[in-house]
Structure formats: structure tokens, C-alpha cells
Amino acid sequence: MTERPWETEPDSLDFEAEGLPCAMRRNPRWRTWCGYVGVDREHPLYGLPTNHLLKLPSSWFVGRRLDQGYGPMDLFIHAMSGATSMADSCPICLAFEVHGGVNFAEDNPPGREPDGRWWFGFDCGHAGDYVPGGEMLDEMKRQMIDSMPDEARNTMRKIVFGEAAIYRDQQYVVGECQSLAAQLNAVVGVLAREKVSGSPDHRGD
């Protein structure tokens, strides 16, 4: 990796993985990558938001990594909801193992016109990620931590600033898009076996 790869990488990239369209866009403010994968109207998750609950077998979650594959806040909310396992009414945001969790579900990614597909996405601006434009973000994190109760501050500082941040480069995000595409294909059969399907299109457009 070059010393400052965000200065030489492109700001957008479109490609196909596992038969699904993928798009990568660089956040113009933070200079981090966001990745998106589109599904068509026949997909059972078409038109559904990231908080839509799914019934998935426990086998779907075997071998998942918790350090980067899910959003910590989404995990916390899921636990506080009374869920006893990942398979217990799992929201879409936690159903797929992708960097920071799925936090985007819209009819088009930035810089791309709606094309009849529904796009799921993720970003690389989480704790542990190096954010090239993040000096202001780091200050916001410090202020947030300083506002916490005394007993929580040291722990949160270790979580947020404890290890050297890693820049998630173009190659890494391509791999995450490919992985998400494969999972979006695989979940079709899993949901069919679980007799669960999403709304064909709840947006009414």
C-alpha cells in the first residue's frame, strides 16, 4: 500500500460480482470508501430497510467475525431488544458479515440514477478505520467520550483510540463488496427454506 493511497485511488468504481452490480464511492468529506451491492425486484429483500427483521437459522452465523463484520451500535440495540442470539429476529443490518455492518438500503447509491434495483451498502468510517479527512471526526469522538460517565471513559478511549487505525483501501472494499454480493445471493435460498420473504416493494413508487 502506498503511503497515502486515497490520493491516488479513484473516487468511484463500478463493477459486477456474483452476477450483481457493485458500486464504490468515496465519501467527499471523510475520504473513506463506501460500498454498495444492488439486487433486483425478485430478491426477497428488495425494498426493505436495514432494520427489517429476518428469521435466519443459526448456521447462517457460524464463523462470523464480530470485530469488523457488524456495527457495534446495531449489536447493542439487538441485545437490548431482548434477543437471545443473532438468529433471534435478526435485522438486515446484522444479517450480513461486511465491514461495519449493512447501514444503507436505498434505491440508488450516490452518483448513480435509480435503475430499478435496491442497494445495500456499508462504509469504512468506523472505530479502528483510518479516516483521511477525520481530524474533526476525532475531535467529535473525544468530546463524546468526555461527556460519558467517568467509569466508562477509559474503556471507550481504549476501544476508539486504543489501536492504530487502518485505512481500508480500494482492494479491501472490492473484496467486501464481493463478499456482500455472495451473501445476498446465498440468503435467497436460506430465506426460501425458512419460508420468509420481504415485501416486493414497500415504497409505493
Please state, rounded to an integer, the average pLDDT across all residues of the chain.
Answer: 85
Q: What is the pTM of this model?
A: 0.80
Res. 163: pLDDT tops 80: no
Per-residue model confidence as pLDDT tens digits over 142-161: 888 888 888 788 887 777 76
Segments making up each domain of the chain, as ranges: 10-130+167-194, 133-165
Q: Which amino acid is at 178?
A: Q
The full 3-state SS of 1-70, as one line of letters, equals CCCCHHHCCCCEEEEEECCEEEEEEECCCCCCEEEEEEECCCCCCCCCCCCCEECCCHHHHCCCCCCCCC
Per-residue model confidence as pLDDT tens digits over 39-50: 999 999 999 999
Per-residue model confidence as pLDDT tens digits over 27-76: 998 999 999 999 999 999 999 999 999 989 989 988 877 655 666 666 66
Per-residue model confidence as pLDDT tens digits over 166-202: 999 999 999 999 999 999 999 999 999 877 444 444 4
pLDDT at 204: 42
